[in-house]
């Protein structure tokens, strides 16, 4: 049976929850209606392996016999937060300087969501860069997979090199152009 393109809808909403282990989650549309299934493959096509609960999201949906599901992600915005620094390591830093640091290409070495941290390596450098889960959340992500490509703003923190902002590599390449 061919897809009926007239049943495709552009929807804005928020991520209700997403579990990368289960491989799916749900989106709540701003205008209400049934929850929208968000499958990990749709998220991967956008260049991410996870998304933070409460993140703003714009998706193209399709109604099926089993309900409404996202078929394409148009955009993701991090969850709203106050202006307080996410970690005490950032408290004494100029926030404008922090956000103007260059985006650097990196790969996840490992990340343990249960522990709340992990490490990545900037391409061409051997030292580890600390990744804290709160930095991921403020960046709109909830988990990372080993080998995942990222773009990071890296600072010299109180305990060494650490990520101040993280984004999916594909998002960073479109933001830079």
Q: Which domain holds residue 27?
A: 5-77
- At 139 the pLDDT is 81
pTM, entire model: 0.66
> pLDDT tens across 48-76, in order?
888 988 889 999 999 988 899 999 999 98
Name the domain boundary from 77, 105, 135: 77
Same domain, 62 and 107: no
Please check whether residues 119 and 170 belong to one and the same domain. yes
Domain tally for the chain?
2
Do residues 46 and 67 both lie within one domain?
A: yes
What does the buried/exposed string (b/e) look like for 6-36 if buried means 16 or more CB atoms within 10 Å of the residue's CB? eeeeebebbbebbebeeebbbbbbeeeeebb
Q: Is residue 82 part of a domain?
A: no
Q: Quick one: 17 and 36 in the same domain?
A: yes
Residues 101 and 45 in one domain: no
Q: What pLDDT sits at residue 79?
A: 80
């Amino acid at each position: 049976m061919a897809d009926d393109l007239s049943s495709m809808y552009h929807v804005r909403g928020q991520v209700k929850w997403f579990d990368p282990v289960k491989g799916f989650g749900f989106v709540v549309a701003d205008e209400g209606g049934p929850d929208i299934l968000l499958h990990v493959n749709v998220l991967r096509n956008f260049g991410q392996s996870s998304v933070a609960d409460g993140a703003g999201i714009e998706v193209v949906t399709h109604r099926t016999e089993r309900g409404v599901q996202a078929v394409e992600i148009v955009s993701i915005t991090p969850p709203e937060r106050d202006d307080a620094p996410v970690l005490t390591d950032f408290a004494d830093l100029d926030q404008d300087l922090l956000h103007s640091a260059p985006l650097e290409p990196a790969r996840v070495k490992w990340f343990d969501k249960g522990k709340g941290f992990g490490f990545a390596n900037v391409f061409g450098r051997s030292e580890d860069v600390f990744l804290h889960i709160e930095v991921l959340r403020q960046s709109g992500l909830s988990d990372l997979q080993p080998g995942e490509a990222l773009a990071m703003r890296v600072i010299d923190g109180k305990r060494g090199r650490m990520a101040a902002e993280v984004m999916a590599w594909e998002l960073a390449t479109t933001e830079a152009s």
